[in-house]
Amino acid sequence: MAPADDSGIKWRPTEEIVAASRMRAFLDECGLADLDTLNAKADSDPAWFWDAALRFLDVKFYKPYDEVLDLSRGAPWPDWCIGGTTNVVLNCLDKHRGTEIWDKIYVVWEGEDGAKRELTYAEFDAEVCRFAGALRERGYGRGDVIGLYLPMAPESYAAFFAVLKIGGIVLPLFSGFGPSPIEVRLNDGDAKAVVTADGTLRRAAPVAMKATLDAALADCPDVRDVFVIRRLGEAIDCPMTEGRDHWWHDATAGQPDHAPTEEMAAEDQGFLVYTSGTTGKPKGTVATHVGSVAKTALDVGLCFDIRADDRMLWISDMGWLVGPLTAISTSYFGASLLIVEGTPDYPDSTRHWRLMQDNQVTWCGIAPTTVRGMMRYGDEVDGFDFSSLRILASTGEPWTDEAWLWLLERVGGGTVPILNYCGGTECYGGIVSGTLLAPMKPGSFAGSMPGAGARVVDGDGNPSAVGELGELVMTTPSIGNTRGLWRDDERYMESYWEMYGNMWRQGDWAMIDEDGFWYVFGRSDDTINVAGKRTGPAEIEGALMSSGRISEAAVIGVPDPVKGSALCCVCVPMPGVEADEALRGELSLVVTGALGKSYRPKDILFVSDLPKTRNMKIMRRVVRSVILGEEEGDLSSLVNPEAVEELRAQAGV
């Protein structure tokens, strides 16, 4: 790593990193000098770009496509790889059969109780094929929606690929859901079957998953079959309904280790992934076989450089996009995947670092919120060996400088890049990202992901001025984007196309600084307008975090008769820090010192935790609704609903 300079750059790629990167190889193959040239050409000719990317990344087809992109229905409704046939499983498993990849370890699993398992690609594929046979035996096949309500386990990933193998549609369900959100998604998606487990461990407590699913299925008359993985066994009660419920091990027993993969049209649907709306029912995003494979290969393979000799750790949940993303990206490139049951800091606060060290993780995805939470444990991280690590990836929340630098220096040794990543479920990946070819400032992005045509624009759709907040948009069609919304084309147009017409509005605030570095500051509906100046909460939260007195913060705007909006800061004190008036005064001074007196907080509340999703996004929408006494909308994605109750008590509502 070259030393930082006055521009604030903290990481620069070495000549060796650039020369060895897959992105440099792609540029060379295309005869292009740099990323700016690539993005300009991709923006002007998206058909050229995606054709070049599909060929370079070697996306497999049974039948080649005749045309890569058809825009005859307009920018919101592109058609991809016309005439081509493929399958996710062809690209992730079948193509490795008979190669040196086949006998290497694919899945390494560790349970919260220390249980461990390993499966080679060949062993994992056999598990996929056996369950595909079980599904076909029960009459399932092309176009059938099958829910996955699962913990992190090898069988969960096998079920994922088995559904795709038979031509079914995967409907992921967050493992922390209660009955109501499960019921809503299964009914809305017309699911015919569900795969679950008897239970899982969460901070040493057995959590009943099958029993929760049973409560949901009382109102899901179309679900005919439930397949149950045995995880906890006698440790938990698991009633089985005769004729409907089947143990995984019984259903797969006697099924052959090899099964044919369904040949699907490139644009056939492979996924129905729900993302929570601001209010009302969740949005069902639609991803296709070619879209999911091509976008994941581009993001994680081309931009984030995962390779066959890598081992990935990215603690998440099969119910969110990161779960499918880890499954596809690792297997596509013949890499290894470390699957973890439970949380990063239990049964002890060093679990995440031990997992990285003991399993020689080379490629690690982690959320800024997770890093901030781990920082509270002090110097524990310094006792671990991360010498195998070469890539850090980050998504989910804006960074604070302090947390970014902590990860760079304490985990990455100052030399491992932190490849920032921002997009959404509806994009099946990213819109902006870091890259091994570009330097980095804390929390920055290099710019648009190739093929996304990202821009930062004002309310009229014109480029935002340097250093000014604007809306993050896409100006070109991307192969990963949702094909409308499930049964709701009107909501799709309203959500993503209504504001600008010819540009996809993602709903995030972004900014480009004077040196060309990009930053994303969270949802644009989180914007705070104080005395006429629009500000994203991340800047204020960063100032609060810099005090060293709190581990997390969520800042919202509340009505103010003079300023229009004033700040309400909800903070989690560091261990041992007293949540008192002295701390409120100290934090108030920190904010005004960093942003000016007009930003003096109207209120500062202290809580033990903030409402979060399973992938550790802080739900500012929920914080705002609680503080303002408004309808809280969809809370089904929260991993810690008890945090909402505590916040209500602190806010006096």
- Contact (CB, 8 A) for 273 and 429: no
Q: What is the pLDDT of residues 225-235, one digit of tens each?
A: 999 999 999 88
Looking up tokens 């100032």 gives 543
Per the document, the length of the chain is 653
| CATH architecture classification, 15-87+268-522 | 3-Layer(aba) Sandwich (3.40)
**pLDDT bucket at 373, cuts 50 / 70 / 90:** confident
Q: Supply the pLDDT for residue 3.
A: 40
527-651 under CATH 2.170.130.10, yes or no = no
**pLDDT bucket at 77, cuts 50 / 70 / 90:** very high
Three-state DSSP at 411 gives helix
Q: Supply the pLDDT for residue 634.
A: 66
Comparing CA positions, the residue from 361, 351, 349, 366 lying closest to residue 406 is 366
When pLDDT is averaged across residues 25-52 and rounded to a whole number, the result is 97
**What DSSP state is assigned to residue 646?**
H
Looking up tokens 């600084």 gives 513
Listing DSSP states for 536-599 in one string gives -HHHHHHHHHTTSSEEEEEEEEEEETTTEEEEEEEEEEPTT---SHHHHHHHHHHHHHHH-GGG
Three-state DSSP at 357 gives helix
**pLDDT bucket at 526, cuts 50 / 70 / 90:** low
- Contact (CB, 8 A) for 167 and 201: no
Comparing CA positions, the residue from 185, 20, 53 lying closest to residue 636 is 185
Most confident range (mean pLDDT) of 116-125, 365-374, 554-563, 575-584 is 116-125
Q: Is the pLDDT of residue 531 over 70?
A: no
- Contact (CB, 8 A) for 439 and 459: no
Q: Is the pLDDT of residue 348 over 80?
A: yes
Q: Supply the pLDDT for residue 575.
A: 86
The domains spanning 121-262 and 527-651 adopt the same CATH topology: no
- Contact (CB, 8 A) for 544 and 571: yes
Q: Supply the pLDDT for residue 278.
A: 45
Comparing CA positions, the residue from 341, 330, 331 lying closest to residue 363 is 330
Q: What is the pLDDT of residues 130-169, one digit of tens each?
A: 999 999 999 999 999 999 999 999 999 999 999 999 999 9
Query: What's the CA gap between 632 and 545, in Å, rounded?
Result: 26
When pLDDT is averaged across residues 343-367 and rounded to a whole number, the result is 95
Q: Supply the pLDDT for residue 617.
A: 73
Topology of domain 121-262, CATH: Rossmann fold (3.40.50)
Burial class (CB in 10 A: 0-12, 13-18, 19+), 439: buried
Query: What's the CA gap between 130 and 49, in Å, rounded?
Result: 38
Looking up tokens 């595909």 gives 132
The pTM of the full predicted model, rounded to 2 decimals, is: 0.86
When pLDDT is averaged across residues 113-128 and rounded to a whole number, the result is 97
When pLDDT is averaged across residues 584-590 and rounded to a whole number, the result is 94
Domains of the chain, residue spans = 15-87+268-522, 121-262, 527-651
Query: What's the CA gap between 266 and 437, in Å, rounded?
Result: 31
Q: Is the pLDDT of residue 543 over 70?
A: yes
The number of helices, as runs of H, and strands, as runs of E, in the chain is 20, 31
Q: Compute the C-alpha angle 107/110/114, nearest 5°.
A: 155
Q: Is the pLDDT of residue 333 over 50?
A: yes
